[in-house]
Every structure is written in C-alpha cells, then in structure tokens.
Structure 1
Amino acid sequence: MPSRSDDAVASALEHAATVLVGDIRDLAVSNPVVLIDGRSGAGKTTLARMLVGRWPVQGRVQSIALDSIYPGWDGLDAGAERALDGILRPHGRGLLGSWRRWDWKSEADAESHAVDPALSLLVEGSGILTPATAKIADVTVWVESAEQGRKARALARDGDTYRPHWDRWAAQEDEHVRRDDPRALATRVVTVP
C-alpha cells in the first residue's frame, strides 16, 4: 500500500505530465525536443515515462536517459556534452545523430544507437539543461524536490549500488546548478515532495 508521501509524489508527477502534454501539443511541431533535468531521485525518469505514454504528437518519441550515457560516476558534465554533441545538435540540424551506451559494469562505451531527426526527442537526466541545450529544446523542465525525499527514492531504487556514490554525484549536481542555473532555463518547473 502506498504511503501518503508516495501519493503526493505520484499526484505531482501526474499533474506535471498533464501540463507538459499540453505544452508539447501547443508547439504544433512534428518533432519537438523536450529536456527534463533535476537532481537524482527527483522524479525525472518517472515523468519521462509518463510523457512517452501520453505523447501528443503523431509518430513515436525517442526517449533517452542520460543514465545510459554518463561515462561513469564522475561523468555528469561529460554525459551532458555527449548528448549535446551527438544527439541534440544533429537533431536540431535535421541530421542523424547517435549516442553510445555506457556499460556501467565494464566501465566502457558499448553499442551505438541512432537518433532520427524526423522523430520527436525526449532527453532526461541530471545535467541536461544548460544554456547550450536550452537553445535547442522546445520544452525544458526542471524537477525540483527536497534532498530527503530524493535521496530516499534514489537509494530505494538503486540501493547499495548508488549509496557509496551519492555524495560524489551530488557534488557534480551542485556544480551544474551553480554554473548553469537550470531552473532559470526551464519553461516549466515541476515541484515534487
């Protein structure tokens, strides 16, 4: 049985998805680009899944999680750069893009994935919303959530795999927030308890 806080999180994300579907529909473009940023455990991935399930534009949406791209636990900035150079810039120019999946177990790049410029694109992950990426995107989202709730959700999701890296990753997020001010770059700010 979900707790009241789980209900509040689900309700906040449900409301955000409804509003964002309207934002995307209002663009009246065939291949919108949506970026979802926020700190670890804020609800980015859940919100992205909700949007994919309700995508209001004809054709499929390509959904890419930066968790698949970051080159290791010190790779927040590098993951965002990889997404900018390999995915967002080509997509914005109408060119085929690509990205390489990071294999966390072998700590090396793995297979390559193509990105079709004719299709919609949703990229989610900590660090994706920067001044350079915001210029390319149609809808930019910052998911705001207090550390206590975020940490509990992230560690419940990833447990002992993530626990020793929480502070290390949080320091990279702090630097991203200080340097890039993603909240100010967002067309929508979503608050999750």
Structure 2
Amino acid sequence: MPCPVAAACDVATAGASRFTEVGERVLTAPPRLGAVRLVAVDGPSGSGKSTVADALVAELAGRGTDVRLVRTDDFATWDAPVQWWPRLVEGVLDPLSRGERGRYRRVEWPRGEPVAGATVDVEVPEVLLVEGVSAARRSIAELLSLAVWVEFADESQRLERAVTREGEASRPHLRRWQEFEREWFGTDGTRSRADVVLEGVGKCKISGHEE
C-alpha cells in the first residue's frame, strides 16, 4: 500500500505554532458526527499525510483532548483504493455518531498480499482523525469539523519517496495508484473544500491566510 513518507508543510519547517493553530481550529469547530469532531487529513500519496496526522494527534493529546486516529491504509488495497468506504462508515462513523464504540478489521500485508488482520476497537473520542487518500471525500463533507489537504512536491518526487518507503517492487502499483488518485481528486474536488492546505515545504494556508 502507498504510505506517505514526508511531511507536506514539513513539521520542522512549519513549527509547533502551526499545529497549535490547526489544533485550535479543530477544538473550536462544532462537532458534526454526533458529539465527535471528525477531522480528515487527505491528499496525494507520498505527501506526508501520516506525519501531519501524527503531529496533529500529538498537539490535541497535549491539550488533554481524547483523540483517536484511523488510517485509510487499514482498509484500502491496490485493487480497491476507495471502494472500502462503507466498511468505515458502518463500522466506525455510524456507531460513533450514536455515541457507541466503533470496530473494524484492518487490512494487513504479511507476505505482500492483503489479508484480514486484527480487529480494532475505536472508543468514542472527542476528536476522530481519519488520515489517508479519500478521507475528506465529498460524501462526508457535512460531517467534517475540519478538512486538511496535504500536498508536497511534484508527482514524480512523491513517487520516488513512496518507492523508497515501499521498495522498488511496488513501483508499478504506485504508478497505477497515482493515476487513480489524480482522477479521483479531480472528480471529487477534495482540495477545493479543504479548510487547511499544507502545500510545499514551509508554505501553509489556513482559511485563505498563506504563510
């Protein structure tokens, strides 16, 4: 599976204050998934979504916020990059919206092939952060308290970063994945709906304010 390997607005470059500001945006936004604030971190593969998500989780947890992180890589496969979505909705989003614990069975890759792995319980948090390609898809826009878009470098650079992480054998899969996500994002219009855009090293935009 493609896995981001570098931060978009690099965590070191952006500084702690950047994630303090985003954390404040999360906590002042209204909850829209029942009593839960749902935050999505989306963008092309190889952009650094996981790094950004981890930094945001740390920022929120440091404020004493009960936060849970679910990654779309726990669901997606090369052959089903976004079609798994009903499993996330039925297993996690719907129960949490009712104030009930969520549960899903994650995808694991023990021999380079996807298999059903461990069951993951998701207790009802104050903030649920969903990270990965298609996390901020149009179908849940009205449920999101905040949508974060992460995009680093050009497509060829992102490919090389991902190949470095996943291994040379993954290159054909990653090329097909990039072709798919380019079309997906163009059709879904994900970036245009983002509340926070992290684009390129050191360049951040929050609600139209660029630094």
Contact 2:150 2:199 in 1 (8 A): yes
Matched, 1:168 2:176: yes
2:148 to 141, 149, 152: 141
> Aligned partner of 1:151: which letter?
L
Which TM-score applies when normalising by structure 2?
0.77
- Rounded to whole Å, the distance in 2 between the matches of 1:180 and 1:115 is 27
SS of alignment partner, residue 138 of structure 1 = strand
Contact 1:96 1:114 in 2 (8 A): yes
- Rounded to whole Å, the distance in 1 between the matches of 2:150 and 2:130 is 13
1:188 to 196, 199, 202: 196
Corresponding residue of 2:66: 60
1:109 to 109, 116, 131: 116
Contact 1:74 1:169 in 2 (8 A): no
Superposed CA RMSD in Å reads 2.7
- Rounded to whole Å, the distance in 2 between the matches of 1:172 and 1:46 is 23
Structure 2: segments with no counterpart, 5+ residues: 1-5, 202-211
Corresponding residue of 2:209: none
1:14 positional shift: 5.5
- Rounded to whole Å, the distance in 1 between the matches of 2:38 and 2:17 is 20
The structure with the largest helix share of the pair is 1
Cα 1:13–1:141 change in 2 (3 A) is: farther
Structure 1: segments with no counterpart, 5+ residues: none
1:135-188: per-residue Cα shift (whole Å, max 9, x none)? 212111111232133223222222225323111111221232122111122111
Corresponding residue of 1:23: 25
- Rounded to whole Å, the distance in 1 between the matches of 2:155 and 2:41 is 18
Corresponding residue of 1:153: 161
Matched, 1:130 2:137: yes
SS of alignment partner, residue 55 of structure 1 = helix
Which TM-score applies when normalising by structure 1?
0.83
Cα 1:67–1:15 change in 2 (3 A) is: farther
> Aligned partner of 2:189: which letter?
D
> Aligned partner of 1:169: which letter?
W
Contact 2:8 2:151 in 1 (8 A): no
1:53-108: per-residue Cα shift (whole Å, max 9, x none)? 111653431111111221x2122112434323322232223232222110223522
Alignment of 1:47-126 (within 5 A): 47-55=52-60, 58-70=64-76, 72-105=77-110, 106-126=113-133
- Tell me the number of residue pairs that the alignment of Structure 1 and Structure 2 aligns: 188
Contact 2:8 2:52 in 1 (8 A): no
